[in-house]
A and B are shown apart, each in its own frame.
Chain A
Amino acid sequence: AQKVTQAQTEISVVEKEDVTLDCVYETRDTTYYLFWYKQPPSGELVFLIRRNSFDEQNEISGRYSWNFQKSTSSFNFTITASQVVDSAVYFCALSEGGSYIPTFGRGTSLIVHP
C-alpha cells in the first residue's frame, strides 16, 4: 500500500530564510508519480510539481527546488529566500501507476514571518 509521510507538522521561519519541507514515501510499484501542492488560506490546491519514478533529476523553478532521491524514498521541497506569500500548507502526494489514485501526506504548515 502506498503511504506518504510529512513528519513536519508546522515550520515557522523569518522572511528570507531558506526552508526545506520533507516528504518520505512508500510504494511497491516501480512506476509512480510524486506531487507537491500548495494550499494557501483561501483553500484552493495549487499544483507545484509532478515527478515520475523514472526521472530522478532535481528541478528548480525560481525560488523553489525539489530533491528526488529514490535511495531514501524522499521527495523534499526547498524554498529559497522565503516570503510571506509562501505561508500556506504544503502537501506531498503519491500515486501508483497501476491505480492512479493519489495518497496525500498530512501536510506541513509553513508560516513565514515578516
Chain B
Amino acid sequence: SAVISQKPSRDICQRGTSLTIQCQVDSQVTMMFWYRQQPGQSLTLIATANQGSEATYESGFVIDKFPISRPNLTFSTLTVSNMSPEDSSIYLCSVLGTDYGYTFGSGTRLTVV
C-alpha cells in the first residue's frame, strides 16, 4: 500500500491566518481525500481531489475556505484560510490504493488561538 508523508504534524496558528498542509505519496494515485476530525469526533470528508480536475467539496465546505491543489498524482495541498478557533482539528489526507484500500497520512493537529 502507499506511504503518505504529511506535513506539518502539528501547528499552533493565530486566528485570521492561513496554514497549508502538504501530502506527498510514494506512488501515483488517482483519488486523494482530505478529512477533518474535530476533537472527539469522527472523520468528516472535506473534499475529493483528483489530479487534473477541480476538487469536489462536500456540503458545508467551500473552496474559499479550504482551497486544494493537486498538481500531480503524488502530491496535494490543503489550505485552511482565515482561521478561527473552530478550525482547530486534526486534518488528514488519504489515498485510494489499487487494492481499494485507503491509506492515511499521519495527520496535522491544528490549534488556532
Identify the stretch in A19-27, A58-66, A73-81, A104-112 within 8 Å (CB) of chain B at 4 or more residues: A104-112
A44→B9 CA distance, assembly (Å): 11
Partner of B41, one of A100, A102, A106: A106
What is the total of A-B residue contacts with beta carbons within 8 Å? 44
Taking a contact as CB atoms under 8 Å apart, the answer to whether A52 and B100 are in contact is yes
| Interface residues on chain A, number (Cβ under 8 Å) | 20
Majority SS at the chain B contact face: strand
Contacts of A107 in B (CB 8 A): 42
Partner of B104, one of A33, A44, A100: A44
A106→B109 CA distance, assembly (Å): 19
- Which of A86-106 touch B at CB < 8 Å? 91, 93, 95, 100-106
Taking a contact as CB atoms under 8 Å apart, the answer to whether A102 and B104 are in contact is no
Partner of A44, one of B42, B99, B101, B106: B106
Taking a contact as CB atoms under 8 Å apart, the answer to whether B43 and A104 are in contact is yes
Taking a contact as CB atoms under 8 Å apart, the answer to whether A43 and B31 are in contact is no
- Which of B71-113 touch A at CB < 8 Å? 90, 92, 96, 99-104, 106-107, 109
Q: What is A's interface to B at a CB cutoff of 8 Å?
A: 33, 35, 37, 43-45, 47, 50, 52, 91, 93, 95, 100-107
Known: A43-B109, A44-B106, A50-B99. 15 other contacts (CB 8 A): A35-B101, A43-B90, A45-B107, A50-B100, A50-B101, A52-B100, A91-B43, A95-B102, A100-B96, A100-B100, A101-B48, A102-B45, A102-B102, A104-B43, A107-B42
